[in-house]
Amino acid sequence: MDPATVMLATVVITALAFDFTNGFHDTANSMAAPISTGALKPKVAVALAAVLNFVGAFLSLSVAATIASGIVDSGSVTITVVFAGLIGGITWNLVTWLMGLPSSSSHALIGGVVGAALMAGGLGAVLFEGVIAKVMVPALVAPVVAAGVCYLGTVSIYRISKGAPKSLRSDGYRIGQIGTASLMSLAHGTNDAQKTMGIITLALIVSGSQSEDAGTPFWVVFSCAVAMGLGTYLGGWRIIRTLGKGLVDITPPQGFAAAGSSTTVILASSYLGFPLSTTHVSTGSILGSGLGRRKSEVRWAVAGRMALAWLVTLPAAALVGAVALSIADAFGGATGFAAVSVLAVITVCGLYALSRRTRVDHTNVNDEWTHDGAVVAKRPKRRTRERATSRPPAGGRSD
């Protein structure tokens, strides 16, 4: 196999790995609220999200190949820059997953590409107006709009359905949540899988394996859909827990308001040409649901950590992207790609090993949130755990 083919294959595999992390990182966006309120059992929720993400990936191909357009100079985008950018995106996705923090996978990928392009072509390679317009402004707008919509939605819900029996309210809003969260999962599959399809198509074009007007091959669409679906099914439990339990203790009416607001804002913004991050929108909605219900506690310390993570996403991913490009360039060609891949695998294994210390999965994702300030709850010692298991399991709140 010639070095160019090895490099192309490495980029394709890395892009699919990014798609996989994108899937499990963003499961929380649509399913944190239904899981937290007990509308869906955790495993059922992630399975439903996985199927809908898989299906969603086939619905539209209109935004493929546009991930970094208008943000980096297209002349400076080489296959090495794309590869290093993906490494930056994957690394930041995994670091934030370990910390249980929702952050935008798209912004992480853009950050990685920006850092690699900066290292490859200097300041002229990055279009800073594009970074402000396509990353920074939407990052500020998304949570504010979503929080506003959800705040008003939550207030309306509690005022309008005040006299309805509690059981009817709980069941009704749980059913509503399943519908809106499903639509959001579908939208996520449609929007996010296309980014990876675009990257793989771009790599095929840059390497001369495909002509520019050939479109996205079916095997690319299918493999991206599978990677996204598998990632979603794995379930980013740490982030689901933070969004569903850490930020606000969500009730079924709040969960319905949050899912409904997120879905509306995402669909409206995608259709009207002002794309917003699903992560920022979902987080804003959950925050708004907490503000809209009296006596509901919003944990501002958790919100602050999330905001900090969002601020750091672009520079942190850019730093990793720049370092990855430097290493790839230092070795050169396929050897450089192999060296970066080995380092990336070691990093992934290290982060996974760290995650095993405070394991969060479908069995403890709905446990009560501890107030010790940690985003990821520490697993209790064996004796405490045995005592805890004698209690009935924590389910969703009724109202």
Partner 1 sequence: MTDYVDLRALALVLLASFGGGVGLIALYAVGIRALAVGQDEGRRGATVVAVASFTVVVAGVLIGLYLLVSA
Which residues would be at the binding site for partner 1 (CB under 8 A)?
Answer: 56, 59-60, 62, 129, 132-133, 137, 141, 145-146, 148-150, 152-153, 156-157, 160-165, 168-169, 172-173, 176, 179-180, 183, 186-187, 190, 253, 256-257, 260-261, 263-265, 267-274, 276
Q: What is the sign of the dihedral through the CA atoms of 65, 69, 74 and 78?
A: negative
Largest CA-CA distance found in the chain, in angstroms, rounded = 72
**Angle, vertex CA 396, rays to CA 230 and CA 366, nearest 5:** 55
Residue 235 has φ and ψ, to the nearest 5°, of: 75, 115
Contacts (Cβ under 8 Å, ≥6 apart) of 350: none
Nearer to partner 1, 60 or 358 (CB): 60
Nearer to partner 1, 14 or 269 (CB): 269
As measured in angstroms, the least distance from the Cβ of 282 to partner 1 is 13
Residue of 52, 19, 90 lying closest to 263 (CA atoms) = 52
Helix 333-355 with 79-98: angle, nearest 10 deg: 10
Nearer to partner 1, 169 or 238 (CB): 169
Residue where the block lists tokens 């004698």: 390
As measured in angstroms, the least distance from the Cβ of 106 to partner 1 is 16
As measured in angstroms, the least distance from the Cβ of 143 to partner 1 is 12
As measured in angstroms, the least distance from the Cβ of 150 to partner 1 is 8
As measured in angstroms, the least distance from the Cβ of 18 to partner 1 is 22
Nearer to partner 1, 1 or 160 (CB): 160
Nearer to partner 1, 62 or 211 (CB): 62
Q: Is 123 helix (H, G, I), strand (E, B) or coil?
A: helix
Nearer to partner 1, 1 or 272 (CB): 272
As measured in angstroms, the least distance from the Cβ of 288 to partner 1 is 10
Contacts (Cβ under 8 Å, ≥6 apart) of 231: 19, 20, 21, 22, 23, 24, 25, 27
